[in-house]
Amino acid sequence: MILDAISSAAGTSSAAKDRAGIADNFDTFLQILTTQLKNQNPLEPLDTNEFTAQLVQFSQVEQQIKQNENLEAITQLAAATAATNAVSFVGKRVSVSTTQSELTNGTANWQYSAAKDADAAKFTIRDSAGKVVWTGERDISKGDNNFTWDGRDAGGLKLTDGNYTLSVSAKDADGETVTVGIAAEAIIDGVDFSGEEPLLLAGDTTIPMSSVKRIHNQ
């Protein structure tokens, strides 16, 4: 078929190339068609069904290119919207679904949410290297609660400021495991646009926008 010959001669083009390629191929197709019609054997006329089928193929390819262009435009719009939304977080205090919190001036804060009351829940804090620096047990109540750490290890030694991680292991009175979700508050002071999606910055910590649970008034 004419279209097959043109396609193989032109080579494979990516979706990113503009429709000039299909337009050039279509012009070539019409030139070849015109030449063949002029020089056809009247006793063996060309099959018009073949030309019709190839015209349909050209139309389908052009529609696909238009759809790809529309998808690219939608993707660019979504990226611009995400960037605008990310910038609006700068200066805001947010609650983030994360076990990590920054120890600043001897204080680190977390929020945790228990599915139900629990007895003797074990709280464990680790430093950035994963080393356990503090553990403690306490009863916790169902719902949202706050936990503040004074930045001292098990021996009472004051630790340096930085990022620390909290984990909570809890069981109810019947010994059943209690699910505890952990979050931390952070002040967003910047946005990182270097990756595929904008990341919020809070000091040295990067935060995906999907991890933000709440935005608070300062």
Residue 86: the pLDDT is 79
pLDDT for res 40: 67
Check pLDDT > 60 for residue 4.
no
Token pair belonging to 75: 């993707």
SS3 57: helix
Question: Does 1 have pLDDT greater than 50?
Answer: no
pLDDT in tens, 25-43: 666 766 766 776 677 666 6
Kindly report, residue by residue over 45-57, the tens digit of the pLDDT.
Answer: 666 666 677 666 7
Q: Which CATH architecture has domain 93-216?
A: Sandwich (2.60)
Write the pLDDT tens digit of every residue in 96-122: 888 988 898 889 999 999 999 998 799
CA atoms within 13 A on the CB side of 29: 24
When pLDDT is averaged across residues 82-105 and rounded to a whole number, the result is 84
Rounded Cα distance between 10 and 75, Å, is 29
Q: Distance between CA atoms of 172 and 118, rounded to whole angstroms?
A: 4
DSSP state at residue 19? T
Residue 56 structure tokens: 């349909």
The pLDDT, as a whole number, for residue 21 is 62
Domain boundaries, the chain: 2-87, 93-216
Reduced 3-state DSSP string for 118-139: EEEEEEEEECCCCCEEEEEEEE
> Mean pLDDT throughout 56-82?
68
Contact between 13 and 23 under an 8 Å Cβ cutoff? The reply is: no
Average pLDDT over residues 128-149: 92
Q: Tokens in use for 156?
A: 């009472």
Beta carbons within 8 Å of 46's beta carbon, 6+ residues apart = 36, 37, 40
Q: Mean pLDDT across the stretch 200-209?
A: 84
Instruction: Report the C-alpha gap between 93 and 184 in whole angstroms.
Output: 10
